[in-house]
Structure 1
Amino acid sequence: MRTEPGTVRSFALYGSSDQQPAWAELVHLETIPERSSLFDWEIDLHFHEALVQLLYLTQGGEGEAVIDGVRWVLRPPCLIVVPARAVHGFSFHPATDGPVITAAQKPLESLAALTAPQLLEHLRRPVVLDVPPDSRHAQVLAPLFEAIGREQQLLADGGMRAGMALLAALFVQVARVAASASGAVHSTRSRKAAQIERFRALLDARFRERLTVQAYAQALGITLGQLTRLTRELLGASAQAVVNARVVHEAERELVYSSLSVKQIAAELGFQDEAYFGRFFKKHTGRRPTEFRTQARARLAAQ
């Protein structure tokens, strides 16, 4: 896989030009060979703006994953969690098989926060976990993936909500595997990867305060230049671009799903006035907040 800084692209589904809006609801299941075989089993570094991925490698030889600068050895059977906005790539063995779920992270987190808050840390942290084939965890995982696949094929009302509930149940199993002695992890963790993780956590906690990038760097105990070099190397974007993308994503979610006025959303996101927020939003999306809200809700209603 390529690892050069500045080449990282965003996809809904890797290699697809059909970009699902970052605010949209989604639970999608496919097998690893369906997509990876099209790219000679080499998935270059990329990220999903608002989507979490859960991969279950059930067979195949040894491979490798890179997630936010951490290299992981893949020895099936194993589970891989890739949170939204995590830069990742894979080198799969050609015999690799197993399901891949791509889902909207925000609705899944909302569901977890209501029903099982302890799952949030497992949704937000990249990890590779061994799943011994004779373990009780292995017996439970496959039926849950299969149930999500059936919901996807049904195209029935409530399918997305059912898929989210089943995915939450899958992450219960992820938590159990992580807590078990057999959930061994094979990785080479770098200091830079740890710094990126801290930056992400700090950004999620404080992006509504509209802090400067300098303030984030100071909170992390590094210089502004170090933070920018770090994000360019591991995330393929400047630190300011990462901060802006987090704000834009939250703004889109609020505009589509909340009943707050544009003025209220601007205040919620730390903008001094609605006009400033409008200019910021149009600069990064090409549309005014009201225009975006109207078009996005029309798209939802048509589904």
Structure 2
Amino acid sequence: MSNVRQLRYQPRDSSAGGVEVLSFARLRELDDHETQRADFYVVAVVDEGVGEVSIDFDRYPLAPGSIVRIPPGAVHRWDDMVSVDGSLVLFLPTAPATPATRARAAPIDIPGVCEPVADAELVSAALDHLELELRAAGAGTPAEIPGLLLSAFLARVPRAAEARYANDSLFVAFRRELEAHFRGHRDTGFYARVLGYSPRTLSRAVQKATGRTAKAYIVERVLLEAKRMLAHDRFTAARCASELGFPDASGFSAFFRHGTGLYAGAWQKRAISNLVEG
């Protein structure tokens, strides 16, 4: 049985266009300290206090000014949040107003925590305006307002190191196709054909954006999902093989060992031990 609580987006106000803002006080009321996986984005801004958040297999300390990015599907847990105050913006991938602003939001697909930034006042102002409009949402409120203000807020959120890809349409498209097909396709050629480019052109775009080859990027994505399954869902190697499109457990085990240096069973035992201790 999975040790991860699945969270589905259930807005309190359907007129808000797939975006909602919660306080950390409200999070404490709802959160039962379980490990979670959501089908929506979370961007949190810490105003006061210290705490910690675990995202996939990394732990991040939180302090005033920290900004947390949690994309859909990332396994996460909030810890030591008693003193933390601030806001969490929850939204669906379709919530930003236009394709251009959705592309602008793409860097938050890279999970992590940003340290306090120089334009913190602009981040705060954009968040305040979004909250104000959501509180006032109702009859007569233009439907596009939440998406536009969400886009303004996301434009102020600091970017991760890889975020230079945000304006690279080929890499953004590659990431989208990878999310849709990584469970069955691990070869660069497949994604190149789907996108209408040569494997070399695709690999150059990935290398420019991430410093890694397209093949390495695909392998990392499959390994991440395998680790989630082993550590949180407690799947066997055979179950992982089935879920990720490998012909058999031995093929998956060889892939996993090549990528991590450990057999799947040994990695699983160590990961579960670390989770229990954490």
Letter of the structure 2 residue corresponding to residue 230 of structure 1: K
Q: Does the CA-based 8 Å contact 1:12-1:48 persist in structure 2?
A: yes
Question: Structure 2: how far apart are the matches of 1:37 and 1:68?
Answer: 23
Give the SS at the match of 2:33.
strand
Question: Among 140, 153, 162, which residue is 2:145 paired with?
Answer: 162
Q: Which shows bigger deviation, 159-168 or 73-82?
A: 159-168
Corresponding position of 1:79: 67
Identity of aligned residues (%): 17
Question: Among 2, 6, 9, which residue is 2:5 paired with?
Answer: 9
Q: Cα deviations across residues 57-76 of structure 1 (Å, max 9, x unaligned)?
A: 10012x21111222111122
Question: Structure 2: how far apart are the matches of 1:96 and 1:35?
Answer: 10
- Offset of residue 234 of structure 1: 5.4
Question: Structure 1: how far apart are the matches of 2:77 and 2:26?
Answer: 16
Question: Among 42, 60, 67, which residue is 1:53 paired with?
Answer: 42
- Offset of residue 206 of structure 1: 4.1
Q: Do residues 230 (structure 1) and 218 (structure 2) align?
A: no
Letter of the structure 2 residue corresponding to residue 231 of structure 1: R
Give the SS at the match of 1:175.
coil
Question: Structure 2: how far apart are the matches of 1:217 and 1:69?
Answer: 25
Question: Structure 2: how far apart are the matches of 1:92 and 1:30?
Answer: 18
Question: Among 32, 36, 49, which residue is 2:28 paired with?
Answer: 36
Question: Among 102, 112, 116, which residue is 1:131 paired with?
Answer: 116
- Offset of residue 43 of structure 1: 3.2
Q: Does the CA-based 8 Å contact 1:32-1:99 persist in structure 2?
A: yes
Q: Between Structure 1 and Structure 2, how many residues are aligned?
A: 198
- Offset of residue 32 of structure 1: 0.5
Question: Structure 1: how far apart are the matches of 2:228 and 2:124?
Answer: 36
Q: Cα deviations across residues 92-119 of structure 1 (Å, max 9, x unaligned)?
A: 33111001110111342x72x42474x2
Unaligned regions of 5+ residues in structure 2, if any?
Answer: 162-172, 189-214, 246-278
Corresponding position of 2:205: none
Question: Structure 1: how far apart are the matches of 2:125 and 2:244?
Answer: 37
Root mean square deviation, CA, Å: 3.9
**Cα distance, 1:207–1:168 mapped onto 2, change above 3 Å:** closer
Question: Among 165, 168, 186, which residue is 1:216 paired with?
Answer: 186
Letter of the structure 2 residue corresponding to residue 45 of structure 1: T
Q: Cα deviations across residues 135-193 of structure 1 (Å, max 9, x unaligned)?
A: 4x2211222222111222222345552112111111111136x58xxxxxxxxxxxxxx
Give the SS at the match of 2:157.
helix
- Offset of residue 126 of structure 1: 0.8
Give the SS at the match of 2:48.
coil
Tell me the TM-score normalised to structure 2 length.
0.58
Corresponding position of 1:114: 100
Q: Does the CA-based 8 Å contact 1:27-1:103 persist in structure 2?
A: yes
Letter of the structure 1 residue corresponding to residue 37 of structure 2: F
Q: Do residues 145 (structure 1) and 127 (structure 2) align?
A: yes
Q: Does the CA-based 8 Å contact 1:65-1:89 persist in structure 2?
A: yes
Give the SS at the match of 2:230.
helix
Give the SS at the match of 1:123.
helix
- Offset of residue 217 of structure 1: 8.3
Question: Structure 2: how far apart are the matches of 1:234 and 1:211?
Answer: 19
- Offset of residue 77 of structure 1: 2.0
Corresponding position of 1:253: none
Corresponding position of 2:157: 174
